[in-house]
Structure 1
């Protein structure tokens, strides 16, 4: 499901079963990450599928990339893999004005 930044963040704040998933490249993550995010690069192809398959399918996934395209694709792949709840951040990190953590 595609959500605006405001809806995505509001829903995330109320969700005790949430996982934030960043599907950008490691280099892109150097620009900062949304707090608590785990990073699995969608460009890794089958490697992405293998890593995502190890995640808990009962959780709710809040997925983002740089602009919203790759994260929408990730949500589609995840739903095909049996994940029931995925939320795509429309506009992605490039339009994000919420909190940001710097990578250490």
Structure 2
């Protein structure tokens, strides 16, 4: 499900079962992250799938990338792998007005 920045962040903050997932590259990750995020690079292909399969499917995933395209793709892949709840941040971190920290 695609959510606007405000909806995505508010929902993640109120969700005790939330996991924030950054699907950007290591270089992008090193430039700053949304607080609390974990990183699994979608460009790793099969490696991405292996890493995602290790995650807890009972959690709710708040997924972002730079602009929203890769995270949308990641949500689709995760859905196919049996994840029931994924939220894509529309516009990604490039349009993010919320907090950013260094990893």
TM-score range relative to shorter protein: over 0.9
Instruction: Kindly provide the CA deviation profile for residues 43-96 of structure 1, in whole angstroms up to 9, marking residues without a partner as x.
Output: 000000000000000000000000000000000000000000000000000001
Pair 1:78 & 2:78 matched: yes
Count matched residues: 103
Over 2 Å off, 4+ runs: none
5+ residue gaps, structure 1, are none
5+ residue gaps, structure 2, are none
Instruction: Summarize the alignment of residues 22-41 of structure 1 with structure 2, pairs less than 5 Å apart.
Output: 22-41=22-41
CA RMSD, 1 decimal = 0.5
Paired residue for 2:62? 62
**What is the CA-CA distance between 1:35 and the residue it aligns to?**
0.5
Distance of 2:30 and 2:19 partners within structure 1 = 20
Paired residue for 1:17? 17
TM-score (norm. length: structure 2): 0.99
**What is the CA-CA distance between 1:31 and the residue it aligns to?**
1.7
